[in-house]
Chain A
Amino acid sequence: MSVPLERVFILNAERRRELSRSAANRRRFSVAFVVFCSIVAALSLIVLGTLLYDIFAQGTGYIWRSSEGSFGERVSAFFGTWSHFLSSPPRQTASEAGIFPSMFGTIWVCAVCGLVALPLGVATAIYLEEFKPKQTWLRRVHGFVQLNITNLAGVPSVVYGIIGMTIFVSMFQSPGSSQTPVLEFGINGIYDQYESKGLRMLRVPVDSRDAPDTQLVDGMTVYDGQGKALELNLIPVGAPIPQDEELKRRTLVNVAGGPARSRYIDEAWYYVRIPFGRSVLAGGLTLMLVVLPIVIISAQEAIRAVPQALREAALGMGCTPWQVVRKVTLPASIPGIMTGNILAMSRAIGEAAPILMIAGVVYIKSAPGNLMDSFTVMPLQIYNWASDSHREFHDLAASGIIVLLAILLFFNASAVIIRQKFQKNLG
């Protein structure tokens, strides 16, 4: 307190000049900093632009370049190639390959994931937000569950992949495998399958998976791929192959040890087995583990946004806690919950690492037909193409990415629309 007054308020002229100069410097520096900040912020826009441009150029450029003729013909060839890409299975030659099975794989896996994660996640969120206990030790459990969910959201998805592989695919290395399940349900029939001289599948029903090979007899009843009964024409080795197409289709050559045989399992659409193996169900449940914390956290936020006054009004009119949730809180927070869910699903669509652990690097030619079918998903197909050493497959990967991004855009746009349209102002 012994500072002389003039040193605080009265400055000499030189000191005042110095201060004003430094103030101008400070102002100038500040303006420069703001400019610097805006340039850095613009960087992320530039990165996004470069990323999108690079992928679109690579994913459409080769299709455009390969088309010929007039402009109109080139445009129609361009869309023809795209529809071929969307409707064909992956093939060894890049120009014939498509993304069809992995698109359906994505739909199946995400349906399983959403159907399990949505109820489970919303129920957990309701418990955490609406049923906060009053006892001290229960409150501690409550806080522990909350902290645990925060931590689960930070676990890398590849770790969930390993967990899913252990729990769902091999079921803790249970003795069975996908070929020899411990338990199965929903088999229409088991057949021995032969390829006839007319390139048709001929099937003979057998009793079980490990039944002995069928002894083929000339004239016995066999079934074709459509289930139509035929009379088998078994000819010895060296005998002339019949010219008649109808006869050729049901002709097998009886080589030593019997014609080449494979066992065909006709599975119903509801077929399930234990262990699940590298199946759609295992993949979907694993993805469920990945997105569950995201679903819970976003649903919690949506529920928390419902004003307390609404709950108190309902309680005051004699509602039980569950009635408050069912009649007031849930209806009011449904738009928020749906938005969060759609965003979680778009995360699931783009997730490749856990599916890579579950499905492996496989070559899938058709869309899955039941929950136990092997599958692949779009990000995994893109990964396979991108890690191929041939450049043509990189182009295919870029095309696949365009399809993937379009689907994600559709999901995110619908999330935004739901948010805009159904969000009521409750405050």
Chain B
Amino acid sequence: MASASESLNVRNRSLQGLQEFWIKGLLWLSAGFSIAITVVIIVILFGEAIRFFADDSITFAEFFGSTKWTPTVGTTAESKSFGVWPLVCGTLVVTVIAIGIALPLGIVTAIFLSEYAPRKVRAFLKPALEILAGVPTVVYGFFALTFITPQLNWVHQLFFGEEGFAAFNSGAAGIAVGILCLPIITSLTEDALRAVPRSLREAAYGLGSTRFEVATRVVVPAALSGIVSAALLAIARTIGETMIVALAAGSTPNLTVDPRDGVQTMTGFMVQIAGGDFSNFGIEYLSMYAVAAVLFAMTFGLTLLGHRIRVRFREAY
């Protein structure tokens, strides 16, 4: 009797061992899936980009040297021009406006939330920021198109006596993207500020510092790596933002820094090609992969850098 139950137990054990092995294998496979996604992204984007550059009429020097982007003009590869700078410029203009708005506002809001806000105000403000972060980007695009642009024109009329902003302009798109980035920067910065230990603040107060001095000379410097990484992540997010610029920034690849003009961003171009009725095998279709590869390289680099900064320069207390 005893030996029977013992052998049953042993069989159970080995069965269990087998089960453990299978389950571990399955879990490992699903973790490997995320690696596979990265590999597939890189292979597809850069593989198709190489096919794009393999075309006789396209040169590397033209792509990164020319300032004319007219992939949809004419029918032959010779009549089209592929210089990526207008798209990169459009992206950068929108990014600079967005980050120029979101970074200072976000940091100040985060300082308020972590250092000064009474609990009741915080309980009100945090959910509001979470709602702002959860609003779909197409809504911000609509808001930029139908609200921000008219308001910008109103302000422009006030100062210059005439409406200066085009119906599609990088200014309104930049502001909307800035609103989108504000909660991201705020919450990441606030996390970094809250991680600064209380003892540092108390020491500074003990030495006679005011609340302003404690915030700006002690807490912010101590959390600087977190703030820089928040800014980098927000920039990556801005560069990859699509629906807002597709709706509000227009679709004319301009090499301009004037926020009143329409621009086309890299993401805007990808949407135009994918949404339009261009042939699936034409050279302009392949150019979409080249642009996507540039976009991917930029955001991937920024994300990696932000992560590195956060890990390496973290002040450990």
Chain A contacts to B: CB under 8 angstroms: 23, 26-27, 29-30, 33-34, 36-38, 40-41, 43-45, 47-48, 50-51, 54-55, 58, 119-120, 123-124, 126-128, 131, 144-145, 147-159, 161-163, 165-167, 170, 173, 289, 292-293, 296, 320-322, 343, 346-347, 349-353, 356-357, 360-361, 379, 382-383, 386-387, 394, 397-398, 401, 404-405, 408, 412
Contact = CB atoms under 8 A, between A and B. Distances in A.
Nearest to A387: B247
A166 B51 CA distance: 14
Contacts of B33: 120, 124
B299 interface: yes
Given A41-B121, A154-B300, 17 more contacts: A34-B211, A37-B108, A156-B267, A157-B240, A159-B296, A162-B274, A162-B288, A163-B41, A166-B44, A170-B280, A322-B19, A322-B23, A349-B136, A352-B136, A383-B138, A401-B138, A404-B139
B37 A292 contact: yes
A37 B307 contact: no
Given A50-B147, A165-B274, A350-B138, A29 B212 contact: yes
B274 A44 contact: no
Contact of B275 (A33, A48, A356): A356
Contact of A30 (B32, B147, B213): B213
A41 B135 contact: no
A153 to B, nearest CB: 8
Contacts of B183: 44
A173 to B, nearest CB: 8
A353 B292 CA distance: 13
B16 interface: yes
Given A155-B300, A353-B243, A40 B108 contact: yes
Contact of A159 (B23, B27, B31, B45): B45
Given A321-B20, A401-B142, A131 B35 contact: no
A360 B285 CA distance: 14
Contact of A382 (B27, B138, B211): B138
B289 interface: yes
A244 B141 CA distance: 56
A38 B302 CA distance: 31
Can you list the 7 inter-chain pairs with the closest CB atoms, starting with the nearest?
Answer: A156-B240, A350-B136, A154-B303, A30-B210, A353-B242, A30-B212, A37-B112
29 contacts: A27-B210, A29-B212, A34-B211, A41-B108, A41-B121, A41-B125, A44-B186, A50-B147, A51-B143, A54-B146, A124-B34, A131-B24, A145-B32, A149-B34, A151-B300, A156-B241, A158-B240, A159-B292, A162-B288, A296-B34, A321-B20, A321-B24, A350-B136, A353-B243, A353-B267, A382-B142, A383-B246, A386-B142, A408-B136
B34 A292 contact: yes
- Among B143, B146, B243, B281, residue most surrounded by chain A Cβ atoms (within 10 Å): B243
A152 B38 CA distance: 7
Contact of A383 (B24, B31, B115, B247): B247
B110 to A, nearest CB: 9
B239 interface: yes
Contact of B129 (A44, A128, A360): A44
A179 to B, nearest CB: 14
A329 to B, nearest CB: 13
A29 to B, nearest CB: 6
B27 A127 contact: yes
A397 B142 contact: yes
B240 A405 contact: no
Nearest to A27: B210
Contact of B116 (A38, A50, A131, A145): A38
B113 A41 contact: yes
A222 to B, nearest CB: 36
Given A163-B44, A165-B274, A382-B142, A155 B299 contact: yes
Given A44-B183, A149-B34, A404-B136, A37 B111 contact: yes
Contacts of B213: 26, 30
Interface in B16-49: 16, 19-20, 23-24, 26-28, 30-35, 37-38, 40-41, 44-45, 48
Contacts of A58: 146
